Amino acid sequence: MKAQFLSTVLFLLIFSALNAQPKYEFRGTWVATVVNIDWPTKPGLNSETQKKEAIQIIETQKDLGMNAIILQIRPAADAFYASHLEPWSRYLSGSQGTAPDPYYDPLNFWIEECHKRGMELHAWLNPYRVAQNAEDPLAATHIAFQHPEWILKYGNKLYFDPGIPEVRTFIAKVVSDIVRRYDLDAIHMDDYFYPYPLSEPFPDTTSFFMYNRGFKPEHLADWRRENVDITIKMLNDSIKATKPWVKFGISPFGVWRNIADDPNGSETTAGATNYDHLYADIVKWQKEGWIDYCLPQLYWFIGHPAADFEVLVNWWKKHTYGRSMYIGLAPYRIDAESQTPEWRDPAQVPTQIRLLRSTPGMDGEAFYSSKHFNRDLLGFQDSLKTDLFRKPALVPPMPWLDNTPPQPISELKKRGRKFSWDTKEASKELDKAWQYVIYLNELDEAFDPGSAKFIYAVQKGKEIKLERINKKRKEYEVRISVLDRLNNESKISIPVQIKL
């Protein structure tokens, strides 16, 4: 029955999606560094090997049609970048506090390599996690030794106590430092706020006693949620005060609340939820405008009995509140040997993408995680390259951050199959040319600037050599537009004809 449903959905959506790829669509991939999930493949690799692995990931994702990398740069109160506040990550060198050898700055390297290829770099941080394993030695300079009262052990992991005001101030300081010194596109956080509950209670009795702000013990959950609320607002304020164009995104667990616990919740029966177990009121942050995008992790299949992908997509579309909404997808589950029939079906994730495209309010997707694109995904990579992501897409603009388009190109020059152009200088960061869109259409074909069909390339450089398309040459029109770094688009240039 489920297989029949999936086939029906696919049949209905494939025709509406054919030749209708969106011009604007977020396409991201997570690159996890905690315990070396994706990169580097193991700790202690020399710097050149780390760089080669990074470039391979970036180029693979670019080839698949992605336009953003979500790189984990602070997995556990440590750093994949030069920091005076936190030590180098053990997942780089094998020893926390030890810099890469020979020295380089991984975050800066990833940013430069992504930007060269026209991709965004979203810097992914975990706010409260201090150590994946409480037995792992911390660097001598670690903030935990300066402020042991900030640290809690829960299970076999260490966490900052979110109830302590100085902890929140420190996290905001870390984020402000990153935003100030690096040319990144976004700060990103996932679902790990308060940790997923264990059989033991979270040990924040002392901080509640000292900093309860008038909350009574029976309202401990509300106090915890407000602690996270305060952190999120502080982070957004500090990011925007430092660089107004840097986005702030959250990728929460896929269920806010079950309908059994809240009439506004989703028709799900998830065992854990953002609101009740992680104390993350993501809907409030959307309503208040404290975040720029929400990226719920919907790692379930269509028709899942406890958390149906389609049900959750339709729930989240009602909770965008004027902000961008992307959806996290799970290629890591695709497996010909899976015990779950739906994940043995090659149509599952492509159908999910088509479903998102047919749902108003959905602006794209991200995939967990990069290493899985190096294995057999039942043809999914080919589906992306030859169909779903056949044309490049632009990351959707965010008009609440900036809605002023940049100046158009000043002149388009043609020499054979080579085109070059100039742009006007701009003093303000948000007015500067960031990338260029090259459009191509047959001479007798009506040009539609809103259609991805006519996008030939999106690039950084101010020149391009067009490739021959047919053995029998045809007349084409070439147009160029300018994008600023938030993907506001300039007026498109008047067409220039060429025979290809």
Using the predicted structure, report yes or no on whether residue 86 has a pLDDT greater than 70: yes
- Residue 157 forms beta bridges with which residues? 154
HEC assignment per residue over 262-278:
CCCCECCCCCCCHHHHH
As a whole number of angstroms, the distance between CA 323 and CA 291 comes to: 8
- The confidence score (pLDDT) of residue 16 equals 46
Element (H, E) at 358: none
As a whole number of angstroms, the distance between CA 31 and CA 19 comes to: 30
Cβ atoms within 10 Å, residue 177: 18
Element (H, E) at 479: strand 475-483
Phi, psi of 275 (to 5 degrees): -70, -45
Helix residue spans in 28-154 (DSSP H): 47-64, 90-93, 106-116, 143-146
Question: Of the given ranges (141-150, 212-221, 430-439, 464-473), which has the lowest mean pLDDT?
Answer: 464-473
As a whole number, the mean pLDDT across the chain is: 95
- pLDDT tens column, 36-67: 999 999 999 999 999 999 999 999 999 999 99
Cβ atoms within 10 Å, residue 61: 23
Residue identified by tokens 């956080």 is 189
Using the predicted structure, report yes or no on whether residue 307 has a pLDDT greater than 60: yes
Confidence of residue 411 (pLDDT cuts 50, 70, 90): confident
Q: What does the pLDDT average to over 252-268?
A: 98
Instruction: Measure CA of the first residue to CA of the last residue in the chain; give whole Å.
Output: 50
Residue 180 DSSP SS3 = helix
| Token pair recorded at residue 176 | 């402000």
Task: Determine the angle formed by the axes of helices 165-181 and 220-242, rounding to 10 degrees.
Answer: 30
Confidence of residue 224 (pLDDT cuts 50, 70, 90): very high
As a whole number of angstroms, the distance between CA 122 and CA 69 comes to: 6
Using the predicted structure, report yes or no on whether residue 452 has a pLDDT greater than 80: yes
- pLDDT tens column, 186-222: 999 999 999 999 999 999 999 999 999 999 999 999 9
- pLDDT tens column, 353-368: 999 999 999 999 999 9
Using the predicted structure, report yes or no on whether residue 19 has a pLDDT greater than 50: no
- The confidence score (pLDDT) of residue 325 equals 98
Residue 403 DSSP SS3 = coil
As a whole number of angstroms, the distance between CA 15 and CA 357 comes to: 12
| Token pair recorded at residue 254 | 């896929």
Query: Is 43 within 8 Å of 91 (Cβ atoms)?
Result: yes
- The confidence score (pLDDT) of residue 469 equals 80
- Residue 440 forms beta bridges with which residues? 478
Strands of 376-474, DSSP E: 411-415, 418-422, 435-442, 455-459, 463-465
Query: Is 124 within 8 Å of 190 (Cβ atoms)?
Result: yes
Helix residue spans in 100-161 (DSSP H): 106-116, 143-146
Using the predicted structure, report yes or no on whether residue 12 has a pLDDT greater than 70: no
Amino acid 142 reads H
- The confidence score (pLDDT) of residue 5 equals 47
- Residue 422 forms beta bridges with which residues? 411
As a whole number of angstroms, the distance between CA 489 and CA 387 comes to: 25
- The confidence score (pLDDT) of residue 251 equals 98
Using the predicted structure, report yes or no on whether residue 11 has a pLDDT greater than 90: no
Query: Is 322 within 8 Å of 313 (Cβ atoms)?
Result: no
DSSP secondary structure letter of residue 370: G
Cα 257 from chain centroid?
A: 23
Element (H, E) at 131: strand 129-131
As a whole number of angstroms, the distance between CA 37 and CA 125 comes to: 15
As a whole number of angstroms, the distance between CA 387 and CA 363 comes to: 18
Q: What is the pTM of this model?
A: 0.95
As a whole number of angstroms, the distance between CA 266 and CA 287 comes to: 17
As a whole number of angstroms, the distance between CA 365 and CA 66 comes to: 10
| Token pair recorded at residue 52 | 């080669």
- The confidence score (pLDDT) of residue 17 equals 46
Using the predicted structure, report yes or no on whether residue 472 has a pLDDT greater than 60: yes
Cβ atoms within 10 Å, residue 346: 15
As a whole number of angstroms, the distance between CA 36 and CA 31 comes to: 10
